[in-house]
Amino acid sequence: MATELDLAITKACELISDTSKLVRVVLSGRRRNMTVPFERIDLRPVSIKDGINLQISQNDGRVTTVKNVAPKDFQSRTYLEMGYANILVEHTSGALSIRITKKGEAQVHEEKGAREQNLDHDRKKARLLDSSDPFLIEVGISDADGRVKPSRSDKYLQVEEFLRLLVPTLNSAIEARQINKPTAESPLVIADLGCGNAYLTFAVHQYLRRIDMPVHVIGIDIRPESLKRNTEIAKKLGISKTIEFKAEAIDQTSLTSCDIAIALHACDTATDDAIAWAVNGGAKLLLIAPCCQHDLQTQMSQVPEPWNLLTKHGLMKERLGDLMTDALRAQILKLVGYRTEIIEFIGGEHTPRNIMIRAVLTNAKAEAKDIESYKKMLEEWKIDPALSSRINLEI
Ligand SMILES: C[S@@+](CC[C@H](N)C(=O)[O-])C[C@H]1O[C@@H](n2cnc3c(N)ncnc32)[C@H](O)[C@@H]1O
């Protein structure tokens, strides 16, 4: 007998096959014990010279690849049964959403309401942050006419792309109940560590509030000038109740914990302070884009052979040190119960520091082989990463 999930998928396939009414399909999240090839897949009908095609946008957490296929060649059931936990099919008179629970059961929800079809095939990437938003003018990213200043355009894009990753990661964590759904009484607490001029801090606050997510955002930076400037901007924008700043060193901050820790280019070991503070306070989600790092480079003096082939070149030694630092940070996070990924959050043309460590607290127990490879790496290279002494690793 067909299960509720089979029936729901058959219904979704029927809706997808009617391209005259299909608006879009979104596949996201991962079913328990299944792996999916992309973090998210978006599908929509587009009009090209041969007629209607289905445009498939596949995002691997870093880049989106797009391809068009003829509807007759699109295997909708294969896609829907690939392992995604959330399936959304929107059509011109409503939407069907299927959430597949950890037990493999379907929670099916149908909604009525008109939706518009947009068949343009080269829709421009929609910006999350309108350049004329008053906060962007106040923080100095946009000029008084609401245009992004050329000198600030890389920072604007870094903040945009950071948000573009934060929002789906946060939504997935809420759906998976790794983070409680925030309410006005219990808003999501987000700490931006090493916030500097608070471009990201304000962006996260403004964007999440705009999508009706109750938040309390705290920007922490060691420099008192940052506190003064950012507090004045918050006052001017009338948002002082839900955003605040502290002039404190990350490792000595008076803030004890947060739900989400973010850091964009906190210098050198300030990134380790940020990760350690977040982990020790039980943060559920970390999005950390590290900056320059010197900690391991200075320790790499007894290089195991044949790695000398790389480290004899100063430039390569530096890059290897950067990679090892972030690889060990990711491994430590894994060992203390975070599902951790290293992704590129923006193209290298906008910043050479374009790696992000994304970690979600799952409390999974460390596996012996992961402990072993971590220890072996430290032993062979005679190194001790800054993060290890800041976190109680118990291994
Ligand atoms: C490169 S800036 C990045 C600022 C901001 N996140 C951005 O992307 O524009 C690094 C910031 O980290 C701050 N910082 C460095 N070490 C810190 C520490 N130990 N505690 C708090 N802030 C620190 C610096 O004062 C500086 O404002």
How much distance in Å is there from the Cα of 204 to the middle of ligand 1?
Answer: 17
The answer to whether position 122 is within a domain reads no
In the chain, the percentage of residues whose pLDDT exceeds 70 is 98
Residues 377 and 259 in one domain: yes
271 lines ligand 1 (CB under 6 A): no
- pLDDT tier for residue 122 given thresholds of 50, 70 and 90: low
How much distance in Å is there from the Cα of 182 to the middle of ligand 1?
Answer: 28
User: Does the pLDDT of residue 49 top 90, yes or no?
Assistant: no
267 lines ligand 1 (CB under 6 A): yes
How much distance in Å is there from the Cα of 350 to the middle of ligand 1?
Answer: 19
Q: Whose CA is nearest to atom 14 of ligand 1?
A: 194
More confident residue, 116 or 9: 9
- Residue that finishes a domain, picked among 52, 82, 112: 112
User: Does the pLDDT of residue 147 top 70, yes or no?
Assistant: yes
How much distance in Å is there from the Cα of 382 to the middle of ligand 1?
Answer: 29
User: Does the pLDDT of residue 124 top 70, yes or no?
Assistant: no
Residues 185 and 283 in one domain: yes
SS (H, E, C) 4-53: HHHHHHHHHHHHHHCCCCEEEEEEEEECCCCCCCCCEEEEEEEEECCEEE
The answer to whether position 126 is within a domain reads no
Mean pLDDT of 324-343: 95
| pLDDT tens sequence across 1-19 | 678 999 999 999 999 999 9
Edge-to-edge strand ranges of the sheet holding 51-59? 64-69, 51-59, 40-48, 22-30, 84-91, 94-100, 106-112
CATH number of the CATH domain containing 206? 3.40.50.150
List the structure tokens of 302: 């007894």
- pLDDT tier for residue 202 given thresholds of 50, 70 and 90: very high
Q: What is the pLDDT of residue 157?
A: 93
Residues 237 and 349 in one domain: yes
Among 27-36, 178-187, 207-216, 363-372, name the one with the lowest average pLDDT: 27-36
Residues 197 and 309 in one domain: yes
Mean pLDDT of 326-346: 94
User: Does the pLDDT of residue 62 top 70, yes or no?
Assistant: no
- Residue that finishes a domain, picked among 45, 79, 112: 112
The answer to whether position 125 is within a domain reads no
Residues 264 and 339 in one domain: yes
82 lines ligand 1 (CB under 6 A): no
159 lines ligand 1 (CB under 6 A): no
Residues 31 and 149 in one domain: no
The answer to whether position 128 is within a domain reads no
204 lines ligand 1 (CB under 6 A): no
Q: What is the pLDDT of residue 294?
A: 86
Mean pLDDT of 187-214: 96
Determine the distance from the C-alpha atom of residue 229 to the mean position of all C-alpha atoms in its chain, rounded to a whole number. Answer: 27
Mean pLDDT of 88-93: 91
Q: Which of 38-47, 201-210, 288-297, 340-349 has the highest mean pLDDT?
A: 201-210
User: Does the pLDDT of residue 51 top 90, yes or no?
Assistant: no
How much distance in Å is there from the Cα of 356 to the middle of ligand 1?
Answer: 16
Q: Whose CA is nearest to atom 18 of ligand 1?
A: 249
- pLDDT tier for residue 193 given thresholds of 50, 70 and 90: very high
Residues 105 and 167 in one domain: no
The answer to whether position 120 is within a domain reads no
The answer to whether position 176 is within a domain reads yes
Residues 235 and 352 in one domain: yes
Rounded alpha-carbon distances, angstroms, from residue 267 to 71, 288, 294: 50, 12, 10
The answer to whether position 119 is within a domain reads no
Residues 252 and 158 in one domain: yes
Domain housing 11: 4-112
How much distance in Å is there from the Cα of 168 to the middle of ligand 1?
Answer: 25
Tokens 């010197």 label which residue? 294
243 lines ligand 1 (CB under 6 A): no
Q: Which of 253, 265, 269, 293 to mutate to test the pocket of ligand 1 (most atoms within 8 A of CB)?
A: 265
- pLDDT tier for residue 31 given thresholds of 50, 70 and 90: very high
Rounded alpha-carbon distances, angstroms, from residue 49 to 6, 20, 282: 35, 16, 54
194 lines ligand 1 (CB under 6 A): yes
User: Does the pLDDT of residue 255 top 70, yes or no?
Assistant: yes
273 lines ligand 1 (CB under 6 A): yes
287 lines ligand 1 (CB under 6 A): no
Q: Which of 195, 199, 248 to mutate to test the pocket of ligand 1 (most atoms within 8 A of CB)?
A: 195
- pLDDT tier for residue 288 given thresholds of 50, 70 and 90: very high
Mean pLDDT of the chain: 92
Residues 98 and 236 in one domain: no
Total number of domains in the chain: 2
The answer to whether position 326 is within a domain reads yes
291 lines ligand 1 (CB under 6 A): yes
Residues 49 and 140 in one domain: no
User: Does the pLDDT of residue 168 top 80, yes or no?
Assistant: yes
- pLDDT tier for residue 55 given thresholds of 50, 70 and 90: very high
The predicted model scores a pTM of: 0.75
More confident residue, 62 or 90: 90
Residues 106 and 140 in one domain: no
List the structure tokens of 50: 């041969």
